[in-house]
Amino acid sequence: MDIQNYHQQEPFTTKDGSTIRSLLDLTNAPVKSQSLAEATLPMGGETERHYHKVSEELYYLLEGKGLMEISGEERQVGPGDAILIPAGTWHQIKATEPLKFLCCCAPPYQHGDTYFE
Query: 110 or 86, which is more confident?
Result: 86
Q: Give the pLDDT confidence of 17-56 residue by residue, as tens digits.
A: 889 999 999 889 999 999 999 999 999 999 999 999 999 9
Buried b (16+ CB within 10 A) or exposed e, 26-49: eeebebeebbbbbbbbeeebbbee
Buried b (16+ CB within 10 A) or exposed e, 75-108: eebeeebebebeeeeebbbbbbeebebbbbbbbb
- Predicted local confidence at residue 110, as pLDDT: 87
Q: What is the mean pLDDT of residues 85-110?
A: 97
CATH code, 13-116: 2.60.120.10
pLDDT band at 15 (very low <50, low <70, confident <90, very high): confident
- Does pLDDT of 66 surpass 90? yes
What is the reported pTM? 0.92
pLDDT band at 117 (very low <50, low <70, confident <90, very high): confident
